[in-house]
Amino acid sequence: MKPNLRMRKILSTFALLSQLTGQDSFLHLYLLPFENTENDPTIDWIAPGLSDMAREQLKNEFGIKIRSKDDLEVIMNDRSLMLKQTRGSKNMLMLGKFIRKLDKVHVTIQLVDVANWQEEDSQKIVEVYSAIPALNQAVGQTVKKMISPFLPKKPVSNRSIYPTFTEPSVTTKRQPFSKESKKVVNNIDSQIAELEASMDALLGARKRKNAAPKKGVMRKTAGEWTLDFDVDNKMEANPENAANTRMLTTVLEQLLHNPYDIELQRPEFIYHDDDQLYMTVRFPVIYKLKEQIIKDMLTTLPYTGLDQNGSLTIFYFDKESFNFPPDIVETIKSGSYRSVPVIRIFDKNDNILIVIADSPENDIHSKRSDKVLYLPQNQFSPLIEFTVGGWSMQVAIETVEIHAVYEFILPVSEMKSLSNVSLKFIDENELSNFLAPLL
């Protein structure tokens, strides 16, 4: 072999080795979108923020290449591509999923080695639903901590033995009058001018200019605080809260006007051993809130806070996220939403035989009737309570069932005439007018 040819091969071999050894290894991280485990549409908007925060935390890390879902599909279809990567490189898959439970969001993150599908790490994060920025930050920090053991080491740059030359900084001389001194002098001058104007005004020498106080500006004089305001300047609704307000209005309308599920059970007839001419009728009724309303309250509305104590759940809403509809606020404050159940039992000719008014009001219990068998009761209790203030609203919901049993005695001769029963909720303010024609 000729010396030149041999030397050329040796040089090419060294060039190839130097090229291979000089290349840096990488961590190829396949970051997939976070999965909404229960496909809850109310929290879909969280997913992009979680992925973006993880990507933001990793973008400046040395030796990492963030890959997409499409990149993962390519390398899974041809796993030999991993052999063509620089020596020491790793391929890791980051999987994230999240779920909402009451007022908290639970996030699970897994780190998987694509080469052998072995789980390298798994972390869980829990944060309140109203603190999404804190959740995003926690996800970003957790992802960064999980991949740090797999990042390639950053090479140490060769430092020169000679000190680096730096350009001398030019210092500017301060003027004899500094800016702060000028501010102080100008302030003193303005205060002296203000004092002179006040003295002239008191002595009647001249009128002060701009004597009328500015609206909305608080002033303090001689230990007294004053504020002029404009009654026509009202707080306007925040247009950014329009979507939340529509959801809140829909749910509140149901809670105010039609919140209950009623189960009318078949009556029980009890014969009297000592008097066979009369029978006792037991009429069971079950009151409970509609399950869909409770579900909407828990999963749809981005409430501000949530408290739970046994069967009692209290939802909190504030004006930072919602515009409270004036008509609903007025309905709550006036209490006109409160209603009570009235039961009417008819005969075969649609005549009312029995009226049961389930109300705690003394005025209702004092009523009498010569037309029908009238039974004032107090077994039903409202399962919803509202509280509204200037800034916040609270909705208390009790998730229990009220098992009411209404009993009355009828002659046996009238039992066969009973045909059907009707239960209707009547507003408390209209209850007396509703009962008047029946009694």
Q: How confident is the model at residue 18 (pLDDT cuts 50, 70, 90)?
A: very low
Residue 97 lies in a domain: yes
Q: Are 279 and 423 contained in the same domain?
A: yes
For 349-402, write each residue's pLDDT tens digit.
889 999 999 998 888 888 898 889 999 998 998 999 998 887 888 999 888 899
Mean per-residue pLDDT over the chain, rounded = 77
63 within 8 A of 56, measured Cβ to Cβ: no
**Residue in 303, 246, 294, 322 with CA at minimum distance from that of residue 128:** 303
**pLDDT reading at 200 higher than 70:** no
Q: Are 246 and 99 contained in the same domain?
A: no
Of the three residues 115, 150, 185, the one that is the final residue of a domain is 150
Spatial separation of the C-alpha atoms in residues 134 and 125, rounded to whole Å: 11
Residue 41 lies in a domain: yes
Exposed / middle / buried, residue 289 (Cβ in 10 Å: 0-12, 13-18, 19+): buried
**pLDDT reading at 138 higher than 60:** yes
Give the total number of structural domains in the chain.
Answer: 2
pLDDT of residue 168: 58
CATH of the domain at 76: 3.40.50.10070
Q: What is the mean pLDDT of residues 267-281?
A: 85
Spatial separation of the C-alpha atoms in residues 56 and 48, rounded to whole Å: 12
Tokens of 369: 């009737």
Q: What is the mean pLDDT of residues 156-182?
A: 52
Residue 36: strand pairing partners = 98
Residue 223 lies in a domain: no
Residue 185 lies in a domain: no
228 within 8 A of 249, measured Cβ to Cβ: no
pLDDT of residue 307: 82
Q: How confident is the model at residue 176 (pLDDT cuts 50, 70, 90)?
A: very low
Which SS3 state, helix, strand or coil, does residue 286 take?
strand
Q: Are 114 and 244 contained in the same domain?
A: no
Tell which wins on pLDDT, 160 or 258.
Answer: 258
**Span of 14-23, 56-65, 401-410 with lowest mean pLDDT:** 14-23
CA distances from 422 to 146, 279, 305, 347, 369 (A): 63, 21, 39, 12, 19
Residue bearing tokens 């829990």: 126
Of the three residues 126, 150, 174, the one that is the final residue of a domain is 150
Q: Are 399 and 252 contained in the same domain?
A: yes
Tell which wins on pLDDT, 215 or 347.
Answer: 347
Q: Are 249 and 109 contained in the same domain?
A: no
Top-confidence range, 52-56, 77-81, 231-235, 381-385: 381-385
Tell which wins on pLDDT, 362 or 213.
Answer: 362
Cα-based torsion angle of the residue sequence 81, 84, 90, 92 in order, rounded to the nearest 10 degrees: -10
Tell which wins on pLDDT, 284 or 132.
Answer: 284
Residue 91 lies in a domain: yes
pLDDT of residue 17: 46
Spatial separation of the C-alpha atoms in residues 252 and 303, rounded to whole Å: 13
For the whole model, what pTM was predicted?
Answer: 0.47
Q: Are 278 and 412 contained in the same domain?
A: yes
**pLDDT reading at 197 higher than 70:** no
Q: Are 142 and 278 contained in the same domain?
A: no
Strand ranges across the sheet with 392-398: 305-309, 312-318, 392-398, 384-388
**Span of 40-49, 74-83, 167-176 with lowest mean pLDDT:** 167-176
pLDDT of residue 343: 93
What whole-number percentage of the chain has pLDDT above 90? Answer: 13
Tell which wins on pLDDT, 377 or 225.
Answer: 377
Q: Are 293 and 421 contained in the same domain?
A: yes
Q: What is the mean pLDDT of residues 35-49?
A: 79
Residue 160 lies in a domain: no
Q: Are 257 and 397 contained in the same domain?
A: yes
Break the chain down into helix, strand, coil percent, rounded to 5.
35, 30, 35
Residue 70 lies in a domain: yes
Residue 166 lies in a domain: no
Non-local CB neighbours of 399 within 8 Å, separated by 6+ positions: 289, 294, 311, 313, 383
Q: Are 250 and 383 contained in the same domain?
A: yes
Of the three residues 118, 150, 182, the one that is the final residue of a domain is 150
Domain limits for position 385: 240-435
Q: Are 143 and 250 contained in the same domain?
A: no
pLDDT of residue 152: 79
51 within 8 A of 45, measured Cβ to Cβ: no
